[in-house]
Amino acid sequence: MPNISETEQLTTADLANAATGRDRRDFDQPAGQADWHNTEEQHNEPLLPKDFSGDMRTRWETIQTEFVDDPRVSVQRADELVANAIQKLAESFADERAKLEREWSKGNDVSTEDLRQALRRYRAFFQRLLAI
């Protein structure tokens, strides 16, 4: 991925696009994510869909088991797995942003509540990311 300076605007769609070759317009059709517009504290909500997370855990267990026989390949597969998770996460944020942008492009006002919920999701993710 090219180096992005702090003056350029980087979006989650840009990150997802770099990994998949998707165009920003591709996010008009959300790729099935959890409903983020609830009022519960989003700090405790999973960042990725349950089925995707389950698959990733299964793949991780396989990678870990195969380490004894081929450590180099296991590390390469672990890197791919992490990259897939990051890509999926970027796609989910890009899909959410696309929903809001579709409303704006129709001339519709997006409710302050919808924007507040979106910002809460970003905040919860950002706080969790920095706590790692």
pTM for this predicted structure: 0.61
Q: How confident is the model over 104-113, as pLDDT tens digits?
A: 777 777 788 8
For residue 86, give the nearest of 33, 12, 32, 29 by alpha carbon.
12
Inter-axis angle of helices 12-20 and 71-105, nearest 10? 130
User: CA angle 8-13-16, nearest 5°?
Assistant: 115
pLDDT in tens, the chain (132 residues): 445 444 566 676 777 677 566 554 454 444 443 343 443 454 567 778 889 999 999 999 999 999 999 999 999 999 999 999 989 988 888 888 888 888 777 777 778 888 888 888 888 888 888 887
**Dihedral of alpha carbons 62, 68, 73, 79, sign:** positive
Q: How confident is the model over 88-107, as pLDDT tens digits?
A: 988 888 888 888 888 777 77
Domain locations in the chain as residue ranges: 12-23+45-131
